[in-house]
Amino acid sequence: MKFLCAADYLTESQSRGFDLDGLKLLAIRREGQVFVYRNRCPHRGVPLEWQPDQFLDTSASLIQCATHGALFLIESGECVSGPCAGQSLSAIACREDPSGIWISLT
């Protein structure tokens, strides 16, 4: 497991971007659970955010690609609207403990 960040760095309904050894990631906390994905749209292969740490739509209920507006479910990474409908973001296994959020890159 590789350390991603302190738990309080990712607050409820917030998204954050990370560059971990050249691997671009995004993390979101929703209803107390942390979700981590590769920061790469399955349609164009481009980063998803439109500004640093801005990965969510205006309602903060879906991940939104800034390039073409595709929308992804936070819990599964599945695209539910846009040109990559039916495809998914690449999930990264993660866990949280008192020392922070950890990811598994295996």
Give the number of domains in the chain: 1
Domain that holds residue 77: 2-104
d(CA 56, CA 62): 6
Say what the pLDDT of residue 44 is: 85
Say what the pLDDT of residue 21 is: 87
pLDDT tens per residue, range 13-32 = 999 999 998 999 999 999 99
Give pTM, 2 decimals.
0.95
What is the percent of the chain where pLDDT is above 90? Answer: 90
Say what the pLDDT of residue 106 is: 75
d(CA 41, CA 38): 8
Residues whose CB falls within 8 Å of the CB of residue 96, separated by 6 or more in sequence, listed in order: 7, 34, 102
Q: Kindly report the CATH number assigned to the domain that includes residue 76.
A: 2.102.10.10
pLDDT tens per residue, range 36-55 = 999 999 988 899 998 999 99
